[in-house]
Every structure is written in C-alpha cells, then in structure tokens.
Structure 1
Amino acid sequence: MHFLDSSYFRDHGTSRTLPSPVEVLARSLINQRPSNPPPVKFEELNLIVKFGPTISTSEALCLWAIRKFLYGQVPVPEVYGWDSDGRHVFIYMELIHGVTLFERYDSLSSDDKRAICQSLRTIMSQLRAIRQSPSNQVIGSITHGPLQDRILDSYPGTGPFPSVREFHDHLSWLWRRIAPEPEKVSDPWRKSLPDDGPIVFTHSDLHRKNIIITSTTPTRVLSIVDWEQAGWYPDYWEYCKATYSVGDWEDWRCGGWIDSFLTPHPQSKEAWDFTCNSIGGF
C-alpha cells in the first residue's frame, strides 16, 4: 500500500518509489538485532522505515487514522505506505527531526516540563475523542483484532474481547493459569479492576523515548511515535503502562509529571501492577 497523496510522493513525484524491503534490509542492523531491529533512516528522503517480526500494518493504520481524523491535534509521523517481504512488515513514514524527551529530560527546566505536560494533556484529550460505535465496543486493536500489548503477547488469548468484564476475567486467569486448579485460586485484586469503565483509544507505550520534542528552546512536543501497541483498552490502561515503564524513584514519575497529563487510577493501578508482575511483566 502506497499513499500517493502523501507528501513523499508530492515532493518526489509519483514515479519515485519507496525503498524496497531489500534496500531497507541492506541498511539495517537486523543481523545484530534480529528480534527487534531498529528503524532504518533515509535522511536524504526525509524517511524512516520501521520493520521487524513483531511489526504489523495495525500500527500503520493507527497513524493513518490519527493523522486523517485528528490532524493538527495529535502529532504523529505521516505514513507514506507499507510493504512486506513475507517475513517482515515494513512501515514507511516521515522522519521527525527532533530528540526524545528521554534524551533531553535531565537538561529541561521545570517550566519546560510543565509546558510539555500541558501539551501532552491536550494531545491525550484529543486522542480520547476517537470512539468506537456504541453497538460494537471491544477491547482489541484499532481494527478490532487481537491486542498488541507486549505485556500480553507472550500469553494465550489476546482477544479481541467483547467487553471490559471479559478482558478483566482473562487478566485474572493469566496469573492463576499455572496453578493445578486455577479456578479454585481466589483473586483478591479482581474486584479492583472496574468492569463498568469506558473503553478508550490508547497509545499504550507513552514512554519518554516515544515522545519527540524540539532540541532547542522553546521546548515543544513534535510527535508521538511507536504506536505498535495501540488499540482499544480500559481507560486506566494508559496511566498504568506509562507509570509501569519508569522507576518510581525517577522524577518523571515521582515528580508528579505523569499524573499531570494522565488521570491517575490508584486503585486500578494496584491491581494492574499485581497482575502484570504475576504474569511476568514485559
């Protein structure tokens, strides 16, 4: 799939093709990191290609949908197309010229961090505007397929789930499944996972490495990247994942910055932490 109306083809002409999978692999480090190769940059084309055994077109569809329906509100790389060589999916997208929040974090002032978090709060509120049809609500990928979250992808049964309750029952079963009689093992945390909460569209990996900001002052959020785990999740999931992926001693977490742009869910987080630690984390 090539989007001929994208800026890549407008800038280079529709006769200019995207680099083939063979060309991407020739520039890649796949021999050093076969299970998780880093994206390949084509600086001369303002292009980056994400590929690997765990990459799917679901991520490309996320980026395409967000840019189409929330253009100017949720900053994401423009998708130029995707391809496959039978082993890997290749996603061709805009190269964002900036640095990650993780790279620049220690040099940022409190005012810089506050401005970033205000932007992120606005971005997240806009992202939540994406809704499923009330008559077709599921916990699953953007296309209502299986969930892509790394916490779950090593275990059986990743959905989609027709309700929040069935998803929570599955989480509860995952950590009890190794017991000789799992149905007889009580789950003290199950009641802390709310079955009546809303299902929202979720990035599911808001790590500082996935937030691209300017390299100079004034500091601005340029893009949110790495949407491979995104999909429809309970509303607490974003907060739990964002806090789980950073040490509780780190300023990004203990300084209250995450809580300033994502709504805290303390009760759900306790249950979520227990469940995910019990099944092995990610």
Structure 2
Amino acid sequence: MASTPPHHPTYNVRLDEADISDIIHLVDPSRTVLSVEQLESGRSFNNRIYFIRVTPSDDSNDATADIEDFVLKVSGQFFGPDKVQNEVACLHLIEHHCPPVPVPRVVAWCEGGKSALKVLTRFEDGQSNILTRSADTDAKRGWLLLSRVPGRPLETTDLDDKENGREIMQQLASIVTQLRTKIPTADRFGNIAISGLEQHRGSLHASLEVKGLILRHLIPDRPILTALEYYHIRLQDQLQKLETEPALTLLREKIAARVRHFTSHSLPTLPQSASKPTFTHYDFSPRNVLVSDCSPARVTGLVDFEFAGFFPAEEDFANTAVNNEGDWPADAYEWFLEGLEAYGVETPLRGFSEERWRGGE
C-alpha cells in the first residue's frame, strides 16, 4: 500500500484491528468483529475509512438476524470535533425530516481526545437519545461509526447511456430536492454543532445548533445572519490561507492585495441577497453517490455529509462548478439541473429570480 504524504489529512491517521474491536465492544459488548477492510489510499481525502463486518447484536431478538456491515470514518489530522458533530447532526436531520432518502445511519461517535464515546439509540416512536459511555483510552482522532449503505461509487461511465444516465440524475434530483425543501431553513448560515446534551437530557434533536463554519484558517466570532456575511467569511478564510502557506507565495504576490480590497471595499456594497439558509450537501460529486451493481444502475445512497450545512441556496451549484469542476459530465449535470427545475427548485440552468438576488427590492 502506498505511503501517505505528510501534508495529507490522513497522514499517521490509522487504527489497527484491536482498536476497532475495542470501539465495537464499547458500542455493543455482544458484538464481535468478523473482518476489517481499509479503503485504499487516495479514495478518501479527509478521513481514514474502514469497512467493518460484525456479528448480530444480542438485542436483535431475531434468531435469523444477519451479519451487519458498518463504516468507521476516522477524521484527518487537520480537523477537530466540529467536523464529527456536523456530520452526526446532518445525518440526523435527514433521518428525521427525509426518512426515504438513502443515507447512512449514525451508530456512535467520538470527538477525539479524552471525550466520551456517544451511542445514538432510536425508539419506536421515532425519537432518539444519546447514551454517553466513558472510554479509558485517548482517542487521538475523532471518529464516526455509521451503517453501511449498499452499493458502489457512481462512475461517470454509468452515465454514458443516455436513458440510464438521465434516470440516475433524475433520482439524484429527487433526493436533493427533498433535502432542500423538507429540511426546514435555519435562521443563520453555517455548519451544525451539538451542544447542551445534558440540558436537553440526551436529546440529539434538541441539542442541534447552527453555529459557525468548519474552516481551516479562521473561526467566525459571531452568528452568520446574511449571505454577504457568509461569503465575506469564506473569502477571509481563503485569504488567510493565501497569506500564510509557503507554497502559495507566488500566487499571494499576484492576487492577495486584490482579494483584500474586494473583501473590504467591494463586497459590502453588493446588493443583499434574499437567499435563505438552505440545507446543502456541499460536496455533490459522483464519488459520494452510491449505485447498485445491476444494469441499469440505480441510486442506492448519498454519503459524505461532513461539510454539509445551511448555506445560500445557490452555494451548492457554485461549489460543484469550482471545487468539484469536471467531476460530472456536462450533459449529465444538465439533466440533474433539469430534474431540479421540474421539482420547482431554482438552478443556474434558467437563472435565479431577481427577487432572490435583491431581496424583493
């Protein structure tokens, strides 16, 4: 297996089978690990991923219960507890508001350091609660234990056949529409934190709070109430990166002053957008879409919500065009946008309404 470069988030981030067995035992002492498979290097940038097969739980009350498969995501070296909390919160919101949407279910998590392990329990009335269990060891990195969604990552070749490709993108349009419309908008922009668990008696739903952004170089010091404030903080974070990383010296000399001027002088004068904080995946790419092995392939899941949150409604499209540029074949992404438009979601395909951009002025 190729070694991981020191600058990579997963450098020196790994667990052995004994560590993984200890985690499973803490979550459910009646289970036994049958096998552990690590996702090959290069397939996940921000996390070390393990696929775990375990025996059925003694609590299943089903003599014919099947062996279960889980995914263990261990956070990379540059991330703190906020990334783990955010993915737990986002997956919970989807499970609560969009039950038909195929995403992983949270089983347990640890935020790293000496923080306690937390196990999410679900009840027949649809409510869920968090059980906290102490761990004797120091978890160097935060981790998240999830149910494994069936399927394989979507390949762009799955979209080559026009009829099948359109069907896949239509299914994705339906999923994304549910996320954008069924999860209520928030009163501020940002990622989601879990706070006040004791105050809320272990209720995960009552403990969610939209709070700040998961950024590498800047910590927002106030709630983000408008789209312009959101974009200002995003630019400030990238400017901080530009001004501090040695590898960006040449680029810094060319554009840093321009970015500073735009952020401090031009951006504040732009018309205020009426865009509401909308639930957004923020990494919509084929690698995060799972499909069946049968032909024609069908969507079986959407994964990787670690940077999801409540952002301006147009942000997911912008992120796909910039940070995920080239991930989607142009015609396939247009089919996706057409599907969203058919469900009443505004997209760049036909443009956003003037009311959205100018706040109804």
For normalisation by structure 1, the TM-score amounts to 0.70
- After superposition, the C-alpha distances for 1:90-128 in whole angstroms (9 at most, x for unaligned) are 111111221111x36356411111111111111112111
Deviation at 1:179, TM superposition (A): 2.9
State the alpha-carbon separation in 1 of the partners of residues 53 and 269 from structure 2. Answer: 49
Equivalent residue, structure 2, for 1:40: 50
Kindly indicate whether the alpha-carbon contact (under 8 Å) linking 1:100 and 1:210 is maintained by their aligned counterparts in 2: yes
Equivalent residue, structure 1, for 2:72: 49
Kindly indicate whether the alpha-carbon contact (under 8 Å) linking 2:102 and 2:302 is maintained by their aligned counterparts in 1: yes
- Which amino acid in the other structure matches residue 188 of structure 2? V
State the alpha-carbon separation in 2 of the partners of residues 98 and 66 from structure 1. Answer: 19
State the alpha-carbon separation in 1 of the partners of residues 175 and 327 from structure 2. Answer: 26
- After superposition, the C-alpha distances for 1:163-199 in whole angstroms (9 at most, x for unaligned) are 22322333455677743994587538973x7521222
State the alpha-carbon separation in 1 of the partners of residues 216 and 168 from structure 2. Answer: 34
State the alpha-carbon separation in 2 of the partners of residues 34 and 244 from structure 1. Answer: 19
1:81 is aligned to 2:108: yes
Task: Give unpaired runs (5+ residues) of structure 1.
Answer: 1-12, 269-282
1:162 is aligned to 2:225: yes
For normalisation by structure 2, the TM-score amounts to 0.56
Higher strand share: 2
Deviation at 1:206, TM superposition (A): 0.5
Match of 1:264 among 347, 350, 356: 347
Q: Cα gap change, 1:197/1:35 in structure 2, threshold over 3 Å: closer, same or farther?
A: closer
Larger Rg: 2
**Higher relative contact order (CA closer than 8 Å, sequence separation 6+):** 1
Equivalent residue, structure 2, for 1:121: 173
Equivalent residue, structure 2, for 1:10: none
Task: Give unpaired runs (5+ residues) of structure 2.
Answer: 1-26, 55-67, 114-139, 193-208, 241-255, 341-345, 353-361
Q: Cα gap change, 1:144/1:16 in structure 2, threshold over 3 Å: closer, same or farther?
A: same
Q: Cα gap change, 1:29/1:105 in structure 2, threshold over 3 Å: closer, same or farther?
A: closer
Q: Cα gap change, 1:51/1:157 in structure 2, threshold over 3 Å: closer, same or farther?
A: same
Kindly indicate whether the alpha-carbon contact (under 8 Å) linking 1:48 and 1:93 is maintained by their aligned counterparts in 2: yes
Match of 2:266 among 187, 211, 215: 187
1:96 is aligned to 2:146: no
Kindly indicate whether the alpha-carbon contact (under 8 Å) linking 1:57 and 1:89 is maintained by their aligned counterparts in 2: no
Deviation at 1:259, TM superposition (A): 2.6
Q: Any idea what SS the aligned residue of 1:222 has?
A: strand
State the alpha-carbon separation in 2 of the partners of residues 249 and 34 from structure 1. Answer: 15
After TM superposition, list the pairs within 5 Å mapping 1:97-112 onto structure 2: 97-101=150-154, 103=155, 105-106=157-158, 108-112=160-164
Kindly indicate whether the alpha-carbon contact (under 8 Å) linking 2:188 and 2:224 is maintained by their aligned counterparts in 1: yes
Equivalent residue, structure 2, for 1:280: none
Match of 2:191 among 141, 150, 154: 141
| Number of positions where the alignment pairs a residue of Structure 1 with one of Structure 2 | 242
